[in-house]
């Protein structure tokens, strides 16, 4: 038994390697954020620099000491990687709001269905007809499984990256943002189920594997049970956990225990542990009893320790220079972008969106981010793909995530900037809102807007409140922009109200809204709403500006402050 223990040298190397990975990943992740890029980009670059691509070539002896490929240290690091990716999928699952899919109805279903079908068809057809050109090396895997994996890899989107991109460009709470988020939720759910089944098919030849039929049955039963009975039980149990156990330790222990049980079950069923963790995250995140602070604590616990270690370790797996194939990278990138943008764009157009918005939705859904990288990593571990295709998939995931935001902004850009203040009048400015909740605030602002423009109060209130029920319109930093489309309206109408105490608009950061801007736009002009929302995001980006707004007492002071801010 003594021989099974790690030696002092191995323990020292283990702690040094984990410390080096974590420090490098966090530093590079923060630098990436400073340049407006997702943290995962910096974390992977840190791994590439510390891996065989750079550090391994410059200091091979030190690299072998810190990151051995065999022995107890390597086994521990591999186990930590399994735990890290499972916890990351827990957080990703918690982002899934199943009710958002139903609220968006036809648009979400059309975009998600076409966004899976078109890239899946292109990916499968390409990998089946020309496998060698797409990196298939006959590595002991059936060509059918390779084609199924490649098709699935092109079909999935990265919900966390998409949400962050929409927040950065001020479209997260817009109608376009609601369609994109709900579609991405649906695609993630379907994509991970398909991938779990493919992993079951790939592993069915191993000695301990279950029959394929058993794996399929267990995956479908686990999914159905988690999303029905499991959700119901969690809704009942969570209030007691949060009421009678210590915070945040008690809730964290409860959630992580469930995650590990779910991960263990899915691994036993013949698919990767991450699938069970993802489904547990979906069930937990969908509970209305999960506090926002609890959700944020779990996300930070995972995102600032486990996730950086996992994504940095990706760079340790292969030499990105030795296995870089420019033709393969270009081919994968082209097929991936065409399939996803065209598929989602056509789905959005079928749902009634104008062409300009449809292509913007396609570009938003094209972000692959961390999810693509996780799929590629697992496929490499299972021997489905080789190093060349793995490198191509990682590069594709990073490039699509980086260009998504700029492409959306370019597609939606108008020749003349639209300002929300151009549609605001003195009577539509309320210096002190009397409302106690968001729906009262919406009605109070509609009444003010009607005094300015003569719109129908009841119709406008119904339009804005219906939109609010579909998806909350609270932004971060104390801003809320309730909005709606009004039949018969010829030009946009705006109203502004200030709530000193703040009103809960279910904002992403949990802060109450103090500056509330109502937007009513024509039904047949989809682009104007996006332009005005983007203008509002720019106008109130500066915290000093937001503080000054709360000091104004009249419409004149408010308009003067806006003009001074824009001039600066």
- What does the pLDDT look like over 15-49, one tens digit per residue? 999 999 999 999 998 898 888 777 878 888 998 99
Structure tokens at 72: 């107890």
b/e per residue 221-233 (b: at least 16 CB within 10 A): ebbeebbeebbee
CA 458-461-467 angle, 5° bins: 140
The total number of residues written for the chain in this structure: 568
Q: Are 336 and 508 in contact (CB under 8 A)?
A: no
Q: Are residues 442 and 370 in the same domain?
A: no
Give the range of the structural domain holding residue 226, as residue numbers without chain letter.
Answer: 9-412
Cβ neighbour number for residue 508 with a 10 Å cutoff: 16
Indicate the pLDDT class of residue 526, thresholds 50, 70 and 90.
Answer: low
Q: Are residues 41 and 165 in the same domain?
A: yes
Q: Are residues 532 and 447 in the same domain?
A: yes
Q: Are residues 199 and 258 in the same domain?
A: yes
* pLDDT for the residue numbered 248: 73
In a domain, 4, yes or no: no
**Residue in this structure with the two tokens 């510390």, named with its chain if needed:** 50
**Residue in this structure with the two tokens 């106690």, named with its chain if needed:** 436
Q: Are residues 495 and 402 in the same domain?
A: no
pLDDT at 107 over 60: yes
In a domain, 240, yes or no: yes
* pLDDT for the residue numbered 567: 62
pLDDT at 174 over 60: yes
pLDDT at 488 over 60: yes
**Integer Cα distance of 109 and 101 in angstroms:** 7
pLDDT at 75 over 80: yes
The last residue of a domain, from among 412, 435, 458: 412
* pLDDT for the residue numbered 62: 92
Point out the catalytic residue in the list 82, 289, 423, 483. 483
The last residue of a domain, from among 391, 412, 433: 412
Strand partners, 496: 429, 517
Q: Are residues 178 and 142 in the same domain?
A: yes
In a domain, 530, yes or no: yes
**CA atoms lying within 13 Å on the CB side of residue 462:** 7
Q: What Cα–Cα distance (Å) separates residue 380 from each residue in 56, 127, 489?
A: 20, 16, 55
Q: Are residues 442 and 407 in the same domain?
A: no
Domain total of the chain: 2
The last residue of a domain, from among 412, 441, 461: 412
pLDDT at 527 over 80: no
In a domain, 2, yes or no: no
Q: Are 110 and 348 in contact (CB under 8 A)?
A: yes
In a domain, 3, yes or no: no
**Integer Cα distance of 357 and 426 in angstroms:** 32
CATH classification at residue 230: 1.20.1530.20
DSSP state, residue 133? G
Q: Are residues 334 and 455 in the same domain?
A: no
Mean of all residue pLDDT scores within the chain: 84
Tell me the per-residue pLDDT of 283-306, one tens digit each, with 9 for 90 and over.
888 777 777 777 778 888 888 888
What is the pLDDT averaged over residues 414-437?
82
CATH classification at residue 560: 3.40.930.10
Q: Are residues 431 and 407 in the same domain?
A: no
Instruction: Decide if 544 is catalytic.
Output: no
Q: Are 471 and 451 in contact (CB under 8 A)?
A: no
Q: Are residues 392 and 469 in the same domain?
A: no
R_g of the chain computed on alpha carbons: 25
Tell me the per-residue pLDDT of 135-154, one tens digit each, with 9 for 90 and over.
887 767 788 888 988 998 89
What is the H or E stretch that residue 429 is in?
strand 429-430
């Amino acid at each position: 038994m003594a021989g099974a223990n790690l030696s002092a040298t191995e323990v020292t190397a283990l702690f040094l390697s984990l410390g080096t990975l974590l420090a490098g990943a966090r530093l590079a992740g923060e630098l990436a954020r400073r340049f407006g890029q997702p943290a995962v980009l910096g974390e992977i670059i840190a791994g590439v620099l510390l891996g065989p691509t750079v550090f391994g070539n410059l200091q091979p002896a030190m690299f072998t000491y810190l990151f051995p490929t065999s022995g107890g240290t390597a086994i521990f690091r591999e186990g930590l990687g399994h735990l890290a990716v499972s916890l990351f999928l827990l957080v990703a699952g918690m982002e899934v709001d199943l009710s958002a899919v139903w609220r968006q109805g036809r648009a979400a279903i059309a975009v998600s269905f076409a966004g899976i079908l078109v890239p899946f068809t292109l990916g499968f057809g390409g990998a089946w007809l020309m496998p060698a050109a797409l990196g298939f090396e006959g590595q002991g895997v059936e060509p059918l499984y390779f084609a199924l994996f490649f098709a699935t890899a092109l079909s999935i989107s990265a919900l966390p990256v998409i949400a962050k991109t929409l927040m950065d460009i001020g479209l997260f709470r817009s109608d376009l943002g609601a369609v994109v988020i709900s579609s991405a939720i649906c695609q993630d759910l379907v994509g991970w189920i398909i991938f779990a089944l493919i992993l079951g098919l790939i592993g069915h030849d191993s000695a301990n594997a279950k029959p394929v039929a058993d794996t399929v049955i267990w995956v479908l039963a686990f999914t159905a049970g988690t999303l029905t009975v499991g959700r119901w039980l969690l809704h009942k149990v969570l209030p007691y956990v949060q009421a009678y156990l210590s915070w945040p330790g008690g809730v964290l222990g409860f959630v992580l225990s469930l995650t590990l049980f779910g991960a263990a079950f899915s691994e036993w069923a013949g698919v990767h542990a991450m699938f069970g963790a993802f489904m547990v995250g979906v069930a937990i995140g969908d509970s209305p009893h999960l506090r926002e602070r609890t959700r944020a604590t779990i996300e930070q616990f995972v995102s600032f320790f486990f996730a950086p270690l996992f994504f940095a370790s990706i760079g340790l797996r292969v030499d990105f220079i030795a296995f870089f194939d420019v033709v393969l990278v270009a081919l994968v990138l082209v097929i991936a972008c065409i399939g996803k943008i065209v598929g989602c764009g056509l789905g959005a157009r079928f749902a009634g969106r104008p062409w300009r918005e449809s292509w913007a939705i396609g570009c938003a859904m094209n972000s692959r981010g961390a999810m693509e990288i996780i799929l590629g990593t697992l496929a490499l571990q299972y021997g489905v793909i080789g190093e060349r295709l793995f490198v191509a998939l990682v590069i594709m995931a990073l490039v699509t995530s980086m260009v998504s935001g700029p492409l959306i902004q370019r597609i939606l850009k108008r020749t003349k900037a639209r300002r929300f203040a151009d549609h605001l009048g003195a009577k539509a400015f309320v210096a002190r809102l009397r409302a106690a909740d968001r729906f009262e605030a919406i009605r109070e602002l509609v009444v003010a807007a009607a005094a300015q423009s003569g719109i129908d109060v009841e119709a406008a209130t119904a339009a804005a409140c219906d939109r609010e029920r579909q998806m909350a319109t609270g932004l971060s930093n104390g801003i809320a922009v309730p909005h709606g489309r009004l039949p018969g309206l010829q030009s946009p109408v705006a109203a502004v109200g200030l709530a000193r105490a703040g009103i809960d608009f279910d904002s992403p950061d949990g802060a109450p809204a103090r500056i509330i801007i109502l937007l009513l736009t024509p039904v047949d002009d989809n682009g104007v709403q996006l332009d005005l929302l983007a203008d509002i995001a720019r106008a109130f980006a500066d915290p000093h500006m937001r503080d000054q707004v709360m000091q104004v007492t009249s419409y004149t002071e408010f308009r003067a402050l806006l003009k001074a801010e824009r001039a600066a």
